[in-house]
Structure 1
């Protein structure tokens, strides 16, 4: 009888502890004053550079009629998404580092996680559609206006946005239905699924299984379509004259770089065992799918394009002359 009462009391205490977690404590890369300041300034510089670069791309592709094509339509959407994507994590991390207040409420954590998953999902879908468009432009240039017509672009965008909402809602709801009582410390500079699962005192088997299966299906499916697109591109480019091959390949390299960094980092962080998540390497790798892709899209993927560079130059010239 005493054993039973002790078990009931232990169960009650466990339930009480799990309901008392109303906020989490996010971890930073470093705690030492000078290094922490330099790290925060680096994050802030990357954030402002990403915003400026993508804002210029959005302005250029909106203002100039010759950039109103399917390729630049998705580039503009990608730039808008990248500004949102990096804004989900970096500003909060910088404020937390400056104020040394690393707490985030349960509702704030859930909101951040939802927006993070949503932006990552839509980003990957946009990269997949852009690979399909690039394949059509190189392999079937005469049919490109038919393949990437306005109707397809609009519906592909709406499908990506809606799919992101569903995917983010499922994973956020599945994560926050759990009880958190082991620790309120998240070994990450933002709220993410793996560290949250490691903090849960509930049975996380179904959550981990859903995470693994959905990531394999979703990320694997996008990777397959992107790979097939570039397989067709490389097969077609081999038939080009030697002088034109370099030009065709140069337009593909930035996109491949962004996709490789994004998929490899997110796959490692999400599919590795959760028990090994309390390392600074994971925080660094997490920045490779939350910070680096938006920065790369603006600095490498877009500004290698001569038309975009010319349009951005005109935007800056008009802006400066307008101020004067």
Structure 2
């Protein structure tokens, strides 16, 4: 029986897509296009929310932070993907891999919490309209967002420390597009039960906990909508459709990657899903909240008209 290679890993090689060199340039151009749309579009959304007084509401305050997180979230991984495509693979030091894992977990966790807060905001707007202004004050919004950042920081610190105190040995090749948890766990050797339990527990506090808040909020929203006249239901629920679409896309991909069993996982499917939640969804969030939002389109139209007049 061959002995296991116990050489400690000090560098990680990202080899995803290297077996298809002919696709390197088309994929590079595609990812670059999506990344530029994500950067420019979300930055534009932040500026639009700041400039238009009609968008100075709790919902758009949360949306501006979500746009900022989408910029940070994609910037952690997409430039690395672009470099790997140009160089037909990329080498990351142990420290750089850990830093990428920490930042990706940090921004991803905050994304989850912000989507949960937006669901809570919709619940208050639909179910408690008379108390909405007194509950969702500017100070309350700042406190909720600050809490999301702190919770994301704690989660990222604990998960990163737990993941990178594992023993990595044998091959240092990661058949993936960045330093994510599933491929890293495949490189481990020795006892890792305690660290994996900690990682799973904190994953439960981020993804399922956020989903519970969202599901409960929309359960109350649906109950409240069913009590109003039929003619007004569609208009009331239309204020929630953009958020529901973003939630379905984001949490659907996260569940596929992190909350399913390890048996029978396809590397090809994992790569496609990882591209979805790192490059595609941050761009789609922008399109969802702009093209399907009358207030955002109206604010953009006013700013463009001002620019023409000046």
Q: Same fold (TM over 0.5)?
A: yes
- Contact kept in structure 2, 1:198 and 1:275, CA below 8 Å: no
Equivalent residue runs for 1:1-324 within 5 Å: 14=6, 17-18=7-8, 21-29=9-17, 31-274=19-262, 276=264, 279-316=267-304
Measure the CA separation in 2 of the matches of 1:320 and 1:103. 49
Structure of higher CA gyration radius:
1
Cα drift, residue 183 of structure 1: 1.3
- Contact kept in structure 2, 1:93 and 1:189, CA below 8 Å: yes
Measure the CA separation in 2 of the matches of 1:184 and 1:317. 55
Cα drift, residue 240 of structure 1: 2.4
Q: After the TM superposition, which of the residue ranges 253-262 and 152-161 deviates more from structure 2?
A: 253-262
Find the residue that maps to 1:199 and give its secondary structure: coil
Measure the CA separation in 2 of the matches of 1:319 and 1:235. 44
Task: Give me the CA root mean square deviation.
Answer: 2.1
CA gap 1:315/1:80 in 2 versus in 1, 3 angstroms: farther
Find the residue that maps to 1:24 and give its secondary structure: strand
Cα drift, residue 81 of structure 1: 1.0
- Contact kept in structure 1, 2:15 and 2:88, CA below 8 Å: no
Using structure 1 for the length normalisation, give the TM-score: 0.88
Correspondence for 1:7: none
CA gap 1:275/1:45 in 2 versus in 1, 3 angstroms: same
Measure the CA separation in 2 of the matches of 1:249 and 1:210. 39
Measure the CA separation in 2 of the matches of 1:277 and 1:184. 20
Correspondence for 1:4: none
Question: How many residue pairs get matched?
Answer: 308
